[in-house]
Each structure stands twice: as C-alpha cells, then as structure tokens.
Amino acid sequence: MRFKDKVVLVTGTSRNTGVGIAALFIREGAHVCVCSSTPESTAKGAAELRAMGLDGFTETPADISDTEQVRAMFRVIREKFGRIDIVVNNACNQGIGPAFEEMDPAYFLSVIKTNLMGTFQVSQEAVKMMLRQESRGVIVNLGSNVSTRAIRNRTAYVASKGGLDALTRAMAVDLGPKGIRVNMVAPGYIFTDRWEKLADDKVKRRRLNCPIGVEATADDIAQAVAFMASDASRNICGERLVVDAGCSAQHMPVDVDV
C-alpha cells in the first residue's frame, strides 16, 4: 500500500470528490483526517465512507476561511497523531453567483477567502508541523482548468483558481528547498450529485467539450491526487496536472460549424 501509516488531511470531504479522495487514501493504508466546514457536513461525508466499509479516518471539522478554526483543527491533529504527512486542499466555494456587474464585493471576497485564503491557511499550519518532522511532507492543491479558460458568470471562482495556480508555484519554490513538495491537480468536468439534476441534453452538451467524451469520476481525480502525493512523483514540484478529458486541448466542440 502506497500510503501505509501516513497521516493525511483532506479538506472538503462532505461529498463527491472529497469523499472519493479520502476513500482512496484510506484503502491505501493511510489514516485520513476528514474535514468539512461544519461538524454536520463532516459527519455526512464520514457516513458515506462508513457505508463503503471504511473506518480509517478521524473527523476534524473546520471552516478553512476561519483562521482560528484552522489552527484548532491542527491542534487536534497534532495531539492525536503528532505529525502530518500529506495535505490535500480540496475544499472549494463553487462561486455560482451573479453576473460580474451585479456581484457584491462581499460575495467575491467570500469565494476568495475559502478557495485561496483557506488553502493558504491550511497549508501554512501543515507546513509548521512538517518542518518539525524528519520526513517533511507533500501538499496537493485542487485547482481547475477554468484558471486558463474562463467560464461565464463565475468571476470569483475563476479568479480564485487562477490565484491558486500562482500560490502553488510560489509555495513550491519556497518549500521545495525545505523538503516539502507542492503540486496541483486541475480537474475539468467531474460527475457529482449535481449532474443527476441536469437535463440529458445539457449532459450531452457538456460531454462534447471533452474530446474523449466523458467527464471525470471522483476516483479519476483521486488517482491523480494520489500520484502527486506518492513517491512516484518525488521529482515533481510546482506542477499542475490537468485532468479534464482533453477539454483544455480542444479549441471548440465537434458540433461547432467552422
């Protein structure tokens, strides 16, 4: 098992991709600290893991946009395990809001506080622990392909993910010499419970954006994260692994008449 006895923190584990990432690490021998913004949402994801027959995890709820809650979470991790080996910054505010000209600055800031500031705060507290460890650690940030190809009416989200690209590179440059690798996995479309509410024609239209014709599953993303967190990627630092079914390579879908 690739992660036997490793202590792993995965944020954003209330459902969907976060649960999938946590499940993979548990199955690969890690003890996973699962984190969502409230005790209730954290428990929801934990229940999904138990339903899969998994139990190698600890519930560590925290709103990652809140500095004190992040510090409190790491106190729990430090007291229980004394170390942190891998951090997966998956928590995300989807930023599905109003058009640019109608967006309240407070709303814009709320998205930035979770997606960018939250990632910074979680990573900083983790690094403080890692620097006291002989084996140091690995950080994997979850970005998005929208940081390089914007989507409409998601200004705050797109901006936050662009900032996360830059943050990942900056962290890699600062922390690499100290023995901590930092990388990113940048998904495109991922099948989540939200897709179950979409009309068939909208699902078909989304899939046309993907040259291989299929969106990612939670496990697809988890496998990419696990690679970046494992020793197989030991010489990779500051990189962005795009997992989007070829969407970023395509100029326009096949049904667009040029």
pLDDT tens for the chain, residues 1 to 258: 999 999 999 999 999 999 999 999 999 999 999 999 999 999 999 999 999 999 999 999 999 999 999 999 999 999 999 999 999 999 999 999 889 999 999 999 999 999 999 999 999 999 999 999 999 999 999 999 999 999 899 999 999 999 999 999 999 999 999 999 999 999 998 887 777 787 888 878 888 888 888 888 999 999 999 999 999 999 999 999 999 999 899 888 878 766
- Within a domain: 194: yes
User: Is 220 within a domain?
Assistant: yes
Which one of 3, 57, 108, 157 is the catalytic residue? 157
Q: How would you write the chain as a 3-class SS string?
A: CCCCCCEEEEECCCCHHHHHHHHHHHHCCCEEEEECCCHHHHHHHHHHHHHCCCCCEEECCCCCCCHHHHHHHHHHHHHHHCCCCEEEECCCCCCCCCCHHHCCHHHHHHHHHHHHHHHHHHHHHHHHHHCCCCCCEEEEEECCHHHCCCCCCCHHHHHHHHHHHHHHHHHHHHHHHHCEEEEEEEECCECCHHHHHCCHHHHHHHHHCCCCCCCECHHHHHHHHHHHHCHHHCCCCCCEEEECCCHHHCCCCCCCCC
Q: Is the pTM value of this prediction over 0.75?
A: yes
CATH number at residue 102: 3.40.50.720
Q: Examine residue 58 and state whether it is found in any structural domain, yes or no.
A: yes
98 part of a folded domain: yes
The answer as to whether 256 is a domain residue is no
Domain that holds residue 186: 7-246
Give a yes or no: residue 253 inside a domain: no
Q: What is the pLDDT of residue 10?
A: 99
Residue 252 lies in a domain: no
> Residue 254 falls within a domain, yes or no?
no
157 is catalytic: yes
Total structural domains within the chain: 1
